[in-house]
Amino acid sequence: MTAEQTTTSTPETAAARPRPPIDSSGTPLVEMRNIKVAFGGVHAVDDVSLDLYPGEVVGLVGGNGAGKSTLMKCLSGAHPPDSGQILVDGHRAEIHNPRDAKKYNIETIYQTLALADNQDAPANMFLGRELKTRMGNLDDASMEAATREVIARLNPNFQNFKSPVKSLSGGQRQAVAIARAVHFNARILIMDEPTAALGPAETAQVRDLIRQLEKEGIGIFLISHDIHDVFDLSHRIAVMYHGKIVGVVNKDEVTPDDVLGMIIMGQALEDVTTPGAAAQA
Amino acid sequence: MSDTPATPAEKAPAVGSPQPGPEPGGGTFGEFKRAGGALYRATEIDGRLLGLMIALAVAWILFDIASRVFGQGGDSIFGGSFLTPRNLFNLSVQTASVAVMATGMVLIIVSRNIDLSVGSLLGFLAMVMAIVQKEILPDLIGFDHSLTWIIALTVGLAFGAAIGAGQGFLVAYLGIPAFIVTLGGMLVWRGGAFLLASGRTIAPLDPNFSAIGGGTQGSLGRLGMDLGVGSATLSWILGIIVVIGLVLLVVMARRRRQAFDFPTRPMWAEVLIVGVGSLLVLGAVWLVNAYEWPIRVAARYAEANGIEVPEGGLILSTGIAYPVLIMIAVAAVMTWIARRRQFGRYVFAIGGNPEAAELSGINVRRTIMLTFALIGVLVAISAAITSGRLDAATNALGQWNELFVIAAAVIGGTSFAGGIGTIPGAILGALFMQTLQSGMVLIGFDTAQQNIVVGIVLVIAVGIDTAYRRRTAS
């Protein structure tokens, strides 16, 4: 299960560094069991089970509408499942809304970044969890100080702490969204297309950050359309197709083409790799 | 100064930054313009508020001149009747009711809702308070009891909060559009006001209660005389307290930023802001103190209290009217709520991006419901002011007020797109609306002409604001 073997396409990135193996003998950080979500008659997520261990990155891939984001919304509380169980540290977790999820230290970075556009970076970082003075007033100075500290680690060039975030660049907005998750000691981090809006340099930053977070023992679900991202960063890759999990594979045991085949055909690996059935990338 | 999360200092560079294309005035003018821009940026003043204040000053001067040309004229510096202590005192009193409600409407509109029921609710709550003080309390504690006004007001505030929360519940938890809920409320509460008193007008009200409405006898001048400290003293004391508070606020904010090593405003900018603010406050106090009691009222008061009337009549200052005090207190509290409290931050966050607010774990529904409960309370305060001023509760009280309140908030820079708006802006917006109306009365416009002008000005004001916003958006 060592990571840095052969398949990655960009040897310069952090992916090339040695990674310790994931200890999957103990209790998983998160266990999602038999999750079902239906919109009308459509089964967006159909009886899906998936787990995540501390320090592990699980990539979640699949075509549009495969159910990746919906599955993660069950975990983040944005859309509670119709049925199924979620266990955190082996205990049943009741997650009905985003507030519940935060109690279990589950943090989410949404594709849309989910920022309050007219507020500044500190207000966004602490949105829903504001620091207050003894009088119960907002402690803007302390929030700004904490924000400056966290963001300085993520993006040293970031300066606009008093501008509304809508006036910031994509990378800066991303920094705010990530800072929010990092500052509150996420143990479980859901990243929905974290690099979709970013340039190459910023993407590299996000990759380094993911490496850093996994070293701290944080479990990460990574949703991405970019198969190379997923291969660089993940330990395991879960492929979804029409609301079901087609297969969960160890990154080291497959090639990007194998995974692409699973995404497109919606079949498990052994079916895909059968001679003649291999998919064209 | 402003509640908009957008701090003008960071937005200002977009305005002041070198624009491509030829500079109209050439070198010297360009230098001057840049220097002015730097000055303006250093003060971190909200450009929209500043614009509104300038527009207000221009309107006051124009109305004063027009009142000399087209109307009776008066003894102001321009020879008109607008910039007189008497007119400006009345202007402040007439502004109070709409301004109080407009501060709440800011939060409603910021969170992407609307409240059309405030005018009718005002009529209903005024009727409730009138019935409590004139028909229920006399049976329980007797007529003219010193607690009558406070009990009536408390009942009104409780009804306002409950009705507001009820409408808010329908909007937030049942998902009925605010436009529809409050349109229904507009009809229901107007009808309710009629049924409560079977269409009667209830008058006069408890004297202490009607003092809430202002006038020469509902102001700090009268209170000072009653307390034996002189008619002008209390207003001056209050003005000085406000100035000291202003200095303390600025100093504390500066210390706090220095403690964290954050950049601060240059010292001269702080001094300028405090200086100009103090001058405005003390100027306003001087103005309302310069408005004297009508001679006959003063004579009657002197007789009743055994004061000797000097040669040339007793000259007493009116001072700050109670409704204006209430308006200032409401503005301060609402600014604190909007800027310094979690609730206010959530309201602005919801307006800016409802989905993000929900995902951040904000209880969006509860917050929305509370904004409606809050405006219900503010409507009750305005109902006390309006009925107190009229010394009567009629079932037409507050008619069309919803439109003035919404217009005041919008002229004050509140955006229907949500997430943007300021409390001081709404107060200035209310003052602007009232300025138009009072000014046109002095010129001799009739109601039809007034309506046309107000309607056109509203559209132009929002048009200018939209253009300004587009220019400053980066």
Tens-digit pLDDT profile for residues B373-421 = 999 999 999 999 999 999 999 989 999 999 999 999 999 999 988 899 9
Task: Return the pLDDT at A4.
Answer: 41
For residue A164, being part of any structural domain is answered with no
Which of A99, A115, A141 shows the shortest C-beta gap to B361? A99
For residue A56, being part of any structural domain is answered with yes
Map residue A214 onto helix, strand or coil: helix
Contact yes or no for A138 and B341 at CB 8 A:
yes
* pTM of the predicted protein model: 0.86
Contact yes or no for B7 and A162 at CB 8 A:
yes
Which of B10, B359, B361 shows the shortest C-beta gap to A163? B10
For residue A226, being part of any structural domain is answered with yes
Whether the CB of B474 is below 8 Å from some CB of chain A: the reply is yes
Q: To the nearest 10°, the Cα dihedral for A191, A193, A197, A203?
A: 70
Which of B9, B359, B419 shows the shortest C-beta gap to A162? B9
Q: What percent of chain B has pLDDT over 70?
A: 90
Cβ contacts (< 8 Å) between B11 and chain A: which residues? 163, 167
Contact yes or no for B10 and A160 at CB 8 A:
yes
Task: Return the pLDDT at B28.
Answer: 62
Which of A102, A123, A136 shows the shortest C-beta gap to B5? A123
For residue A129, being part of any structural domain is answered with no
Q: What total number of domains does chain A contain?
A: 1
Cβ contacts (< 8 Å) between B46 and chain A: which residues? none
Contacts of A241 (CB under 8 A, 6+ apart): A62, A63, A66, A262, A263, A266
For residue A112, being part of any structural domain is answered with no
For residue A281, being part of any structural domain is answered with no
Task: Return the pLDDT at A8.
Answer: 40
DSSP B141-157: H-TT-TTHHHHHHHHHH
Bigger pLDDT: B97 or B203? B97
pLDDT surpassing 90 at residue B106: yes
For residue A79, being part of any structural domain is answered with yes
Model pLDDT for residues B320-361, shown as the tens digit of each residue: 999 999 999 999 999 999 999 999 999 999 999 998 998 888
Task: Return the pLDDT at A180.
Answer: 87
Which of A115, A137, A145 shows the shortest C-beta gap to B340? A137
Quote the CA–CA distance of B359 and A78 in Å, as a whole number. 6
CATH number at residue A99: 3.40.50.300
Q: How far is B457 from chain A (nearest CA, A)?
A: 27
Contacts of B245 (CB under 8 A, 6+ apart): none
Task: Return the structure tokens found at A47.
Answer: 């009886």
Contact yes or no for B361 and A117 at CB 8 A:
no
Quote the CA–CA distance of B316 and B333 in Å, as a whole number. 31
Could you tell me how many CB contacts below 8 A there are between chain A and chain B? 102
Q: How far is A241 from chain B (nearest CA, A)?
A: 26
pLDDT surpassing 70 at residue B23: no
User: Which of A128-137, B23-32, B302-311 has the lowest average pLDDT?
Assistant: B23-32
Q: Which residue is listed with tokens 């307390």?
A: B227
Q: How far is A93 from chain B (nearest CA, A)?
A: 17
Cβ contacts (< 8 Å) between B15 and chain A: which residues? none
Task: Return the structure tokens found at B76.
Answer: 């102001």
Task: Return the pLDDT at B422.
Answer: 94
- pLDDT values of chain A reduced to their tens digit, one per residue, 281 residues: 444 444 444 444 444 455 666 777 778 899 999 999 998 888 889 999 999 999 899 999 988 888 888 999 999 998 999 999 999 998 999 999 888 998 899 999 887 778 888 899 999 999 989 999 998 999 988 999 999 998 887 777 888 888 888 888 877 888 888 888 888 888 899 998 887 777 787 788 788 888 888 888 889 999 988 888 888 889 999 999 988 888 898 888 888 888 888 888 887 776 655 544 444 43
Quote the CA–CA distance of B153 and B384 in Å, as a whole number. 7
Interface test mutation site (partner B, options A117, A118, A119, A184, max chain B beta carbons within 10 A): A118
Q: How far is B11 from chain A (nearest CA, A)?
A: 7
- Candidates B243, B258, B259, B274; CA nearest to B45 is B274
Q: How far is B433 from chain A (nearest CA, A)?
A: 27
Task: Return the pLDDT at B33.
Answer: 64
Cβ contacts (< 8 Å) between A98 and chain B: which residues? 358-361
Task: Return the pLDDT at B153.
Answer: 97
Query: Confidence band (pLDDT; 50, 70, 90) for B151?
Result: very high
Cβ contacts (< 8 Å) between A145 and chain B: which residues? 260, 262
Task: Return the pLDDT at A273.
Answer: 56
Contact yes or no for A167 and B356 at CB 8 A:
no
Q: How far is B346 from chain A (nearest CA, A)?
A: 8
The per-residue pLDDT of chain B, averaged, comes to 88
- Sequence-separated contacts (24+) of B339-347 with Cβ below 8 Å: B339/A138, B339/B3, B340/A137, B340/A138, B341/A136, B341/A137, B341/A138, B342/A130, B342/A132, B342/A138, B343/B367, B343/B370, B344/B3, B344/B107, B345/A119, B345/A123, B345/A127, B345/A130, B345/A138, B347/B107, B347/B110, B347/B111, B347/B371
For residue A86, being part of any structural domain is answered with yes
Domain that holds residue A43: 14-105+185-273
Quote the CA–CA distance of A266 and B440 in Å, as a whole number. 74
| Contact predicate B76/B83, CB 8 Å | yes
ipTM of the complex: 0.80
pLDDT surpassing 70 at residue B17: no
Q: How far is B363 from chain A (nearest CA, A)?
A: 9
Per DSSP, helices labelled H in B291-422 are 295-305, 322-340, 342-352, 354-359, 364-390, 401-411
Whether the CB of B255 is below 8 Å from some CB of chain A: the reply is no
Cβ contacts (< 8 Å) between A76 and chain B: which residues? 359
User: What is the pLDDT averaged over residues B213-227?
Assistant: 90
